[in-house]
Structure 1
Amino acid sequence: MPELNKGMVVLTSTERVRFGERAAQSLKAEAEMMDNKRVFLIASDSLVKNTDEIAQIEAALGERHAGTFSGVQPHVPRTDVMAATEQARDAGADLIVSVGGGSVTDCAKIVPVMLKHDIRNADDMEPYHITVDDAGAMVLPQFDAQDIRTICVPTTLSGGEFNPLSGSTDPVSKHKQGYQERVMAPVSLVLDPAMTVHTPEWLWLSTGVRALDHAIETLQSLHSNDFSDGQAMSALKLLIEGLPRAKADPGDLDARMKCQMGVWQSMLPIIAGVPMGASHAIGHVLGGLCDVPHGYTSCVMSPFVLRWNESVNDHRQATIRDAFGQPNTSASELVDNFIASLGMPRSLSAVDVTEDRFQQVAEYTMDDIWGKTNPRPISEPADVMQILELAK
């Protein structure tokens, strides 16, 4: 009898996910249910300036609305976290709500920790982020959990709203660093597909590929399990259907909801403890160091990581081929063709990462939280360089 696969599935502190209802109504119901009286919004700048969505939420909250912060920059510079924290502190916030993409979400999840520990300077964030030891294991700093909770209303498909992990970039080192504590996961989420019609097509589709990459890195991992594989397979199928439909008809709210459900399922394995691989590790570095948009990092890395890993995990990649319904075509080719069909960039040069940056990217990847959890072992920067050469 084969040895049983042993492990543990970790759950988050998220209690509810509301879906299919307009965000303003859902947030009003949440604030009333939890009796929050000082709701502070961290919102997408484009939603504030170009739509009435944020104004509708503010109106629905009424006297419970304590203030709105906007203008979080991509990859969440520490200075933006501090600016949002200062305004939330001045507003006497008792609930933080994010409305926007991944950077807005990450910022909103870190702010309550900064409030709890009265952090007022960007340099003082240093003791709170995750580090990596020489063996590649994550070292989680220990600190008291926040008192104020977060609700997330995502408008992209990057998926960070579902987990207790957030990222912020140190403006000096250009490292995008992770922050994690169980209660950093939002107490609830609101999936409003109608809100996402304002999201630029390139951003919606590229972050959808990011979600696809969550599922792909789960299915090719040697540390997954039947629970996580099932979630990832379902996520992959929903995204394979939903993304092309949303591209063909941006008003197809059912397709957008399928994508949102796909993101949710793609995140469950990560939350459960399945480590991601080289696509995510290199992607974090490309974002913080080279300013590549979050979704684009997966567009230009996922197929090439699959190709580089194939010699050690072809049996695992078979599930990816099955999801695309083409078991006799390589997973790397299928994923590459799918990303191309969405009109997304397909190489590092296409996102302005030139070969003179490769060595620094490779070295930084070794310090990433998933730099050493790839199916095909990465033991030195030269291994990363091989992948970057494939993707150039």
Structure 2
Amino acid sequence: MFVHDAQPMRVIFGTGAVERVAEEVDRLGLRRVLVLATPRQGALAARVTAVLGDRAAGTYDGARMHVPAETVAAAEQALAATGADGCLAIGGGSTIGLAKALSLRHGVPSVVVPTTYAGSEMTPIWGLTEDGRKTTGRDPVVLPRSVVYDPELTHDLPAAVSGPSGLNAIAHAVEALYAPDGTPVVSALAERGVRDLATALPSVVADGSDADARSRALEGAWLCGACLGATTMGLHHKLCHALGGMLDLPHAETHAIVLPHVAAYNLPVAPEAEAVLRRALDTGDVPGALRGLARRVGVPDGLRALGVDHADLARVVDEVLAAPYRNPRTPTRDDLEELLEAAWRGGS
């Protein structure tokens, strides 16, 4: 027996789909929405604002990684000042996470236009960082009402961002495959999503204008994100949340580096998950294939390449042990120290 909760999600997918954001805002009965972006996405924010016309109440372009509390406070002020009754987030996980925070605190619905392969637009999972600690939770109120995928918007995504972002999405599917609430539906989505991303990412990194590869990668990210949205997070996400929140590390790169090491730890006790991944990656060595893919798409070699001080690893272990997530194996301190040591060194 299994129970599968399908998220109430509306998806518009295709080249030029961004031109339909005004229709989605109208469909939700919203009058004026606050456009959310990062400081580097001014051109995208301006483009979507032009499409929205008088439905755009204003722009807040201060979204940051890990959704710091002070960023949320500033966005709340913008929301109040503009009188917006909803949000439109255009960008990656940082911007989508900010939209979720506003939905969580104020109940405002959101329309999301993803421009990376983060996958968080498919989940009811929120995260907030305060005083160096990232807190996460699940609440259906944060789930975007409409997600508009336009592969054309990803063509300018640099290779250095595309590769780690895609591995981040794959991590969502890998963890969903051995989650305690996984289902055959999740397994099917995960297999297709991982295969799409693993085949598309090398082409995307080699030629960012490859329209077919960009579309396949974005579709894979959608499917992998949906897997995470339907299941419980485990050790991989706990480690990455602790690393990111405590050390302010880049989100996608952290996930991409940690993924093969957690897979090597968990898959020996999750044979069904391993079988799915072997098919999706066309390999007999899943952790090895993930490491190889990471190298091919330019993921930094180890946590030390992100500037992590080796002495900080002990604090991360303490954080993970203090509030563990459910996982196929219950890690000991020695397990975590060994895993993080390998992820810090990189190589092989």
TM-score (normalizing by structure 1): 0.83
Whole-angstrom distance in 1 between the partners of 2:15 and 2:273: 38
Tell me how far 1:23 sits from its aligned partner: 5.1
Distance 1:222-1:11 versus aligned 2 partners, 3 A rule: closer
Q: From the two aligned structures, give the one with the greater helix fraction.
A: 2
Cα displacement string for residues 206-225 of structure 1 (whole angstroms, at most 9, x for unaligned residues): 11100111122223446523
Q: How does 1:303-322 map to 2 (within 5 A)?
A: 303-314=260-271, 316-322=273-279
Cα displacement string for residues 275-326 of structure 1 (whole angstroms, at most 9, x for unaligned residues): 2332211111111111221111122111111222344234531321222222
Cα displacement string for residues 47-106 of structure 1 (whole angstroms, at most 9, x for unaligned residues): 20xx3x322221222111110000222111111011001111111111211011101110
- Map of 2:136 onto structure 1: 178
Cα displacement string for residues 118-164 of structure 1 (whole angstroms, at most 9, x for unaligned residues): xxxxxxxxxxxxxxxxxxxxxxxxxxxx2x21111111111111111
- Map of 2:328 onto structure 1: 375
Gaps of 5+ in 2: none
Distance 1:18-1:220 versus aligned 2 partners, 3 A rule: same
Q: Which amino acid aligns with 1:317?
A: E
Whole-angstrom distance in 1 between the partners of 2:260 and 2:94: 25
Give the alignment partner of residue 47 of structure 2, picking from 49, 53, 56. 56
Give the alignment partner of residue 289 of structure 2, picking from 328, 334, 345. 334
Alignment coverage as a number of residue pairs: 344
Cα displacement string for residues 325-374 of structure 1 (whole angstroms, at most 9, x for unaligned residues): 223xx211111111111111231222222321111001112345xx3322
- Map of 1:7 onto structure 2: 2
Q: Which amino acid aligns with 2:4?
A: V
- Map of 1:347 onto structure 2: 302
- Map of 1:78 onto structure 2: 69
Distance 1:246-1:36 versus aligned 2 partners, 3 A rule: same
TM-score (normalizing by structure 2): 0.93
Contact 1:13/1:186 (8 A) holds in 2: no
Cα displacement string for residues 201-241 of structure 1 (whole angstroms, at most 9, x for unaligned residues): 22221111001111222234465232111110011111011
Q: How does 1:1-392 map to 2 (within 5 A)?
A: 6-14=1-9, 16-22=10-16, 24-48=18-42, 51=43, 53-115=44-106, 146=107, 148-170=108-130, 172=131, 174-221=132-179, 223-273=181-231, 275-314=232-271, 316-327=273-284, 330-368=285-323, 371-378=324-331, 380-392=332-344
Distance 1:337-1:21 versus aligned 2 partners, 3 A rule: closer
Contact 2:41/2:61 (8 A) holds in 1: no
Contact 1:219/1:233 (8 A) holds in 2: no
Whole-angstrom distance in 1 between the partners of 2:117 and 2:191: 17
Q: Which amino acid aligns with 2:51?
A: A
Aligned-partner SS, 1:224: coil
Q: Which amino acid aligns with 2:117?
A: L
Aligned-residue Cα RMSD (Å) equals 1.8
Aligned-partner SS, 2:89: strand
**Identical-pair percentage:** 29
- Map of 1:141 onto structure 2: none
Whole-angstrom distance in 2 between the partners of 1:54 and 1:23: 15
With 16-25 and 158-167 compared, the bigger mean Cα shift is at 16-25
Contact 1:366/1:372 (8 A) holds in 2: no
Whole-angstrom distance in 2 between the partners of 1:282 and 1:319: 23
Q: Which amino acid aligns with 2:311?
A: D
Contact 2:36/2:45 (8 A) holds in 1: no
Aligned-partner SS, 1:366: helix
Whole-angstrom distance in 2 between the partners of 1:242 and 1:381: 37
Larger-gyration structure (1/2): 1
Tell me how far 1:43 sits from its aligned partner: 1.4
Q: Which amino acid aligns with 1:290?
A: L
Whole-angstrom distance in 2 between the partners of 1:230 and 1:347: 31
Contact 1:348/1:391 (8 A) holds in 2: yes
Whole-angstrom distance in 2 between the partners of 1:215 and 1:186: 20
Cα displacement string for residues 6-55 of structure 1 (whole angstroms, at most 9, x for unaligned residues): 232123233x111114354111111233342211101122120xx3x322
Distance 1:113-1:281 versus aligned 2 partners, 3 A rule: closer
Contact 1:359/1:381 (8 A) holds in 2: no
